[in-house]
Amino acid sequence: MKKELKVSAINNGTVIDHIPASNLYKVITILNLDKISNAMTYGSNLESKKLGSKAIIKISDKFFEDEEINKIALVAPQAKLNIIKDYLVVEKKVVEVPDKIVGIAKCVNPKCITNFEEVTTKFTVINKETVDLKCHYCEKITDQNHLVIK
Amino acid sequence: MKNRSLVSISDYSKEEILKILELAGEFEKQPHADLLKGKVIASLFFEPSTRTRLSFESAVQKLGGSIVGFSDSSSSSTTKGESLNDTIRTVSNYADLIVMRHPIEGSARFASEISGVPVVNAGDGANQHPTQTLLDLYSIKKTQGKLEDLNIFLVGDLKYGRTVHSLLEAMSMFNPTFNFISHEKLQMPKEYKLFLDKKGIKYYEHEQFTDIISRADIMYMTRVQRERFSDPIEYEKTKNTYVLRNEMLKNTKENLKILHPLPRVNEIHQSVDSNPKAYYFEQALNGVYTRQAIIAAILGLK
């Protein structure tokens, strides 16, 4: 039996699969997908054995640099990328939590300068497995449970 | 160190820290009254801190420099709604170096990134206060003749006290043994104990003052702040448990010195003040020499 695609295939571009359904919009924000004009389809609340409920994004004619795509590891650590050329998957990629996070996350410390003035947040990832972020400014730790995407 | 801001004690290497302490010793012996002649230091205190401000201003004036600035934010443009960004960008046109105290954490790092001149952090909220740490190190070195292999007792509020955290980090370069004495609610946070574990530094935790203090080379006392307790009765009890009295010092080491970042409330009884082991007022004087050294080193004058 032919497996039916819930989100239609693309000719050229990138498919981001295995996004936790609840974090779809965060991924869109982090990658600035709401600000580009490429054709894009996405599906959410799709069945997934791994995640229970997943989301998928297909973006035509868009190819990401590793540095850019790794930013989504904060909210979609199990995300898988398929690079499509002529309807064929030419490359598969997984995301990796980067060493530094710039301008995506909010510092959990309400007394941090980044929550008072226009300052781009900067964090050092001190634990990649648990995703603990150390603020470059106030030096406090923001853990995954308190992670808020700007 | 030249032209580099001092925001956090970890900005300086061990060698740079030792260089500052050596310079501070030089300033203690020789006043160098003209070193800062023609230099303007901005002293921006967005929250009042009389002790720290006077210490910095005394350091600048002893070196012949001049000071511009304000002693609390009500007398600055902050009350008109000016951002820190704008204040720093403006003031860095007027001064050769900025000394800044600010209640918001991380404000000093931010200021150092946008300022055209070096910034010395004189305290950013509960975060860092590196000049206090350097003057503590100077006081320890001066009284013990060395920094290595000392038994350091930290007493009082070890949970929130930023001075004890920075001192712990800095002293860890010199193979110390630590003893922590505090109420269970004010214990040294886990992250600092993990830091010591990683470095293989020994530490012991106590909830009471006992004979153990006879092992101390340095006893660093801190104030237990009322606002740390939701229950006022709990505060009153705790406050009175960790009071150091003169008779408790009977069997302590000859070389023991008692330090305190000041202001104190009641954690050191006044009867201790006349004991030669009390060192907290001299420690405050050392702050002036240390700040002279920091300013001179950053401006490249020494």
The pLDDT tens digits for B60-85 are 999 999 999 999 888 777 777 889 99
Nearest chain B residue to A115 by CA: give it: B104
Together in a domain, A32 and A77: yes
Q: Check whether B241 has a pLDDT greater than 90.
A: no
Together in a domain, A87 and A65: yes
* Contact between A139 and B106 using a beta-carbon 8 Å cutoff: yes
Residue B180 contacts residue B152 (beta carbons within 8 Å): no
**Minimum-distance CB partner of A117 among B8, B85, B128:** B85
* Contact between A113 and B126 using a beta-carbon 8 Å cutoff: no
Together in a domain, A20 and A85: yes
Q: Check whether A1 has a pLDDT greater than 70.
A: no
Together in a domain, A124 and A59: no
Beta bridge pairs of residue B73: none
Q: Check whether A7 has a pLDDT greater than 80.
A: no
For residue A4, tell me if it sits in a domain.
no
For residue A119, tell me if it sits in a domain.
yes
**Minimum-distance CB partner of A138 among B84, B85, B106:** B106
Residue B67 contacts residue B44 (beta carbons within 8 Å): no
Looking at beta carbons, which residues of chain B come within 8 Å of A112? Answer: 104-106
Together in a domain, A79 and A117: no
pLDDT of residue B46: 94
Q: How many CB atoms are closer than 10 A to CB B247? A: 8
* Phi-psi region at A28: left, alpha or beta (left = phi > 0; alpha = psi -120 to 50): alpha
* Pick among B101, B110, B119, B191 to test the A interface (most A CBs inside 10 A): B110
For residue A8, tell me if it sits in a domain.
no
Q: Check whether B115 has a pLDDT greater than 60.
A: yes
Q: Report the share of chain B in percent with pLDDT over 90.
A: 81
Together in a domain, A18 and A90: yes
Residue ranges of chain A whose CB lies within 8 Å of a chain B CB = 107, 109, 111-114, 116-119, 135-141
CATH number where A60 lies: 3.30.70.140
* Minimal CA separation from A22 to chain B, in Å: 32
pLDDT tens digit string along A34-85? 999 999 999 999 988 887 899 999 999 999 998 889 989 988 988 999 999 9
Together in a domain, A85 and A45: yes
pLDDT of residue B291: 98
Q: Check whether B90 has a pLDDT greater than 70.
A: yes
Together in a domain, A43 and A63: yes
* Contact between B84 and A109 using a beta-carbon 8 Å cutoff: no
Mean local confidence (pLDDT), B19-38:
94
B106 touching chain A per CB within 8 A = yes
Of A94, A111, A131, the residue at which a domain comes to its end is A94
* Contact between B126 and A111 using a beta-carbon 8 Å cutoff: yes
pLDDT of residue A44: 93
> How does DSSP assign B207-255, residue by residue?
SS--GGGGG-SEEEE-PPPGGG-SSHHHHHHHHHHS-B-GGGGTTS-TT
For residue A6, tell me if it sits in a domain.
no
Nearest chain A residue to B123 by CA: give it: A138
Range of the domain at A137: 100-149
Looking at beta carbons, which residues of chain B come within 8 Å of A109? Answer: 105
CATH number where A143 lies: 2.30.30.20
Residues 242-261 of B with CB under 8 A from A: none
- For residue B122, name the pLDDT band (cuts at 50, 70, 90): very high
Together in a domain, A46 and A118: no
Q: What is the CA angle A71-A74-A76, rounded to 5? A: 95
Residue B60 contacts residue B298 (beta carbons within 8 Å): no
Of A94, A119, A136, the residue at which a domain comes to its end is A94
Nearest chain A residue to B7 by CA: give it: A137
- Of B56, B302, B288, B21, the closest CA to residue B144 belongs to B21
pLDDT tens digit string along A85-113? 999 999 999 999 999 999 889 999 999 99
Of A94, A116, A139, the residue at which a domain comes to its end is A94
For residue A138, tell me if it sits in a domain.
yes
Mean local confidence (pLDDT), B194-199:
94
pLDDT of residue A147: 86
How many domains does chain A contain in total? 2
Query: Domains in chain B, ordered, with CATH?
Result: 9-128+287-298 (3.40.50.1370), 131-284 (3.40.50.1370)
B85 touching chain A per CB within 8 A = yes
Together in a domain, A127 and A106: yes
**Residue A11: both structure tokens together:** 């000719």
For residue A126, tell me if it sits in a domain.
yes
Least trusted range by pLDDT, from B7-11, B18-22, B131-135, B223-227: B223-227
* Contact between A139 and B128 using a beta-carbon 8 Å cutoff: yes
pLDDT of residue A3: 64
Together in a domain, A20 and A56: yes
Mean local confidence (pLDDT), B249-274:
95
Residue A95 contacts residue A70 (beta carbons within 8 Å): yes
Looking at beta carbons, which residues of chain A come within 8 Å of B85? Answer: 117-118
Q: Check whether B126 has a pLDDT greater than 90.
A: no
> How does DSSP assign B179-209, residue by residue?
EEE--GGGPPPHHHHHHHHHHT--EEEESS-
Specify the pTM: 0.87
For residue A7, tell me if it sits in a domain.
no
Together in a domain, A78 and A112: no
For residue A2, tell me if it sits in a domain.
no
pLDDT of residue A2: 59
Q: Which residues of B belong to the active site?
A: 51-52, 80, 101, 129
